[in-house]
């Protein structure tokens, strides 16, 4: 199951979502997860987090793993540290794939249409599979 919560339409981040994202029992894997958290932090201030009773800056208490670094180490290829999802799919899953239009075009939509929602689900599943194959928990 994949839940898509589009922050662009929310005036604030619900405390339950902050709690979920900062739960030390969870690790979020993907490509550029830390940068995504930085973007969220830029758009939702520390003052807001203090209002909901949190005394930390969003993202600093979140466990993240960038799959590119693990792939670079696993395959002995430093250039994998700065590739996109399409390249990682090719190397790790040995497949060609990324939805037409790419990540920025699909996820930059202000309204979650079927294409951007489908891409988000595929992105989540592909990152899960890459994580499973690379056994990221061992790093």
**pLDDT cut 90: percent of the chain above it:** 30
11 CA to centre of own chain:
21
d(CA 20, CA 6): 15
- Say which residue the tokens 């929310």 belong to: 10
Go through the domains of the chain in sequence order and give each one's CATH number.
11-138 (3.30.420.10)
Question: What would the mean pLDDT of 54-80 be, rounded to a whole number?
Answer: 83
> For the segment 3-32, what is each residue's pLDDT rounded down to a tens digit?
777 777 777 778 788 788 888 888 888 999
d(CA 118, CA 138): 30
> For the segment 70-98, what is each residue's pLDDT rounded down to a tens digit?
999 999 999 999 999 999 999 999 987 65
Task: Give the per-residue pLDDT at 25.
Answer: 86
User: Which stretches of the chain are assigned E, i.e. beta strand?
Assistant: 27-30, 63-66
């Amino acid at each position: 199951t994949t839940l898509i919560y589009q922050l662009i339409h929310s005036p604030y981040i619900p405390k339950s979502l902050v709690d979920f994202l900062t739960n030390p029992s969870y690790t979020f894997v993907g490509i550029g997860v830390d940068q995504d958290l930085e973007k969220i932090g830029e758009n939702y201030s520390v003052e807001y987090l203090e209002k909901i009773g949190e005394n930390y800056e969003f993202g600093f208490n979140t466990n993240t793993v960038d799959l590119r670094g693990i792939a670079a180490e696993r395959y002995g290829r430093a250039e994998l540290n700065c590739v996109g999802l399409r390249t990682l799919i090719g190397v790790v899953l040995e497949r060609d794939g990324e939805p037409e239009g790419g990540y920025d075009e699909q996820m930059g939509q202000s309204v979650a249409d079927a294409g951007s929602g489908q891409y988000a689900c595929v992105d989540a599943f592909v990152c899960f599979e890459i994580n499973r194959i690379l056994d990221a928990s061992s790093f």
